[in-house]
Amino acid sequence: MSSLLLLAAALSMDAFAACLSRGVAAPAHALARTALTTGTAIGVAHGVMPLVGWSLSAAMTARLRDFDHWIAFALLLAIGLRMLWEARDPDGDCPAANGGASLAALAFATSIDAAVAGGTFAGLEQPVAVGCAVIAVSAFLFAAAGVCLGRFAGVAAGRRAQVLGALVLTALAVKIVIDHEFLGG
């Protein structure tokens, strides 16, 4: 079970980092709702994607691994660039960064690695349903915490925090490609 918990935490780290920027962009009056909806979307995506990976053949998982990082890169980069563009908004909120399409893209982009990880369930000696549930709960908790922490950091740092959140997403996108292309990740 400890291996599964470590896997779940590792898969949730990208979601946490990405959700910091959602928290920065979240209006103060909607923090709880943003944390819950973001956590739920990311938790569901992280819970379903390992099942997808597990159910695919080993050949399909290997093929997905060849380009999963490019999909995540494109989605995270698009969200980050859009946040940078909207950071110019004088009221300080970034509704598009917290919109439904952005949330769906974020949930998908941060859960692609979970699909590949689903292929490792046999080695963890855990039932697939348990693995998916543990990963989903972990992702929910990390995402919701990221939103809340991002909002508090955003209040303290103002508009710079929104730009920083966008830059974090962009850096995360670049890191994913570097890890996969050059570091064997």
Number of domains making up the chain:
1
**With the CA atoms of 53, 58, 64 and 66 taken in that order, what torsion angle do they form, in degrees rounded to the nearest 10?**
140
Q: For residue 126, give the 3-state DSSP assignment.
A: coil
121 and 128 Cβ atoms separated by less than 8 Å = yes
DSSP letter for each residue of 71-100:
HHHHHHHHHHHHHHHHTT-TTS--GGGGSH
Q: What is the pLDDT of residues 118-156, one digit of tens each?
A: 766 666 667 888 989 999 999 999 999 999 988 887 666
pLDDT tens digits along 11-33: 788 788 778 878 877 888 888 99
The better pLDDT of the pair 103, 164 is held by: 103
Q: What are phi and psi of 113, to 5 degrees?
A: -60, -30
Percent of all residues in the chain with a pLDDT value above 70, rounded to a whole number? 72
Predicted confidence band of residue 93 (pLDDT cuts 50, 70, 90): very low
Model pLDDT, residue 96: 45
More confident residue, 120 or 180: 180
Question: Average per-residue pLDDT in the chain?
Answer: 78
Tokens matching residue 47: 């819970």
pLDDT at 3 over 80: no
Amino acid type, 64: L
Domain limits for position 84: 2-182
The Cα 120–Cα 113 span in angstroms is 11
The pTM assigned to this predicted structure is 0.70
pLDDT at 95 over 50: no
Residue 176 and residue 185: Cα distance in Å, rounded? 8
